[in-house]
Amino acid sequence: MYGGLRKLTHIKIAPSILAADFGQLQQEINVIEKHSDELHIDVMDGHFVPAITMGPVILKSLKTTLPVDVHLMVFNPEKYVEAFAHAGAKNISFHVEATQKPGEVIAAIIKAGCTAGIAINPETPIEKVMMLVPDVDRIVVMSVRPGAAGQLFIPSVLSKVMFLRKMTTKDIEIDGGITADNVKKAVDAGANIIVAANAIFGQKDRVKAIEELRNGFAP
């Protein structure tokens, strides 16, 4: 099935502001907005992952026409769903490793008016998300260990992407270590939402960096 991915869906670029300059965050978004498909917001609580990033107050202060994809890297994600939905999230994804009641989290996200995604860490067996795929809108395959931008891509996760693409036409998002040099492997495996942090905001010319990513998987 994944061999026909380009016929099924558009490949989306979702810049992650995790690597942006937080001192001029709105300006950073303004630069990439017209050249991107989604805006990716990484939320970290200092417990599920060591780092602490941003809350719904920051998201609410940002202005963008892009759909906002909020990635909750937090324990007890259900506690944060409503606040991020009200702050402007269109999609909210959470980690299968972060809750004992994923069905309740999915229900909360849908009730809040957002689409739902389930994320899986590189070391977590794919079986952990299989039963949840019918209930979500996207599956997020982490290609680094969550918690920091600038890590190296873990190629072994591509087998998860390929397996998922064979069973679903839903969105498959890949997140972590994506560059112009490896993005084609992710797309060929079946990913159709490409999250990039350092590959975009770590470059002097953000727009050129996005173009290079697109050229990386162009047929």
Q: Which of 183, 190, 182 is nearest to 14 (CA)?
A: 183
pLDDT reading at 2 higher than 90: no
Find out whether 14 and 36 touch, Cβ atoms under 8 Å.
yes
Backbone angles phi, psi at 193, to 5 degrees: -125, 120
- Read off the pTM: 0.93
Q: Which of 182, 147, 172 is nearest to 73 (CA)?
A: 147
User: What was the pLDDT predicted at 8?
Assistant: 45
User: What was the pLDDT predicted at 46?
Assistant: 86
User: What was the pLDDT predicted at 50?
Assistant: 82
pLDDT reading at 12 higher than 50: yes
Q: What is the 3-state secondary structure (H, E, C) of the chain?
A: CHHHHHHHCCCEEEEEHHHCCHHHHHHHHHHHHHHCCCEEEEEEECCCCCCECCCHHHHHHCCCCCCEEEEEECCCHHHCHHHHHHHCCCEEEEEHHHCCCHHHHHHHHHHCCCEEEEEECCCCCCHHHHCCHHHCCEEEEECCCCCCCCCCCCHHHHHHHHHHHHHCCCEEEEECCCCCCCHHHHHHHCCCEEEECHHHHCCCCHHHHHHHHHHHHCC
Domains for the chain: give ranges and CATH numbers. Answer: 2-217 (3.20.20.70)
pLDDT digits (tens, 9 = 90+) for 190-215: 999 999 999 999 999 999 999 999 99
User: What was the pLDDT predicted at 162?
Assistant: 97
Q: Which of 191, 215, 155, 219 is nearest to 2 (CA)?
A: 191
pLDDT reading at 67 higher than 90: yes
pLDDT digits (tens, 9 = 90+) for 79-135: 999 999 999 999 999 999 999 999 999 999 999 999 999 999 999 999 999 999 999
Of 49 and 163, the one with more pLDDT: 163
Upper half-sphere CA count for residue 14 (Cβ side, 13 Å)? 27
pLDDT digits (tens, 9 = 90+) for 137-148: 999 999 999 876
User: What was the pLDDT predicted at 6?
Assistant: 42
**Which tokens hold the place of 197?**
């942090």
pLDDT reading at 188 higher than 80: yes
Q: Which of 72, 78, 67 is nearest to 109 (CA)?
A: 78
User: What was the pLDDT predicted at 156?
Assistant: 97
Find out whether 46 and 83 touch, Cβ atoms under 8 Å.
no
Could you give the percent of the chain with pLDDT greater than 70? 95
Residues with a known catalytic role: 42, 175
Mean pLDDT, residues 66-76: 97
Comparing 6-10, 67-71, 99-103, the range with the smallest average pLDDT is 6-10
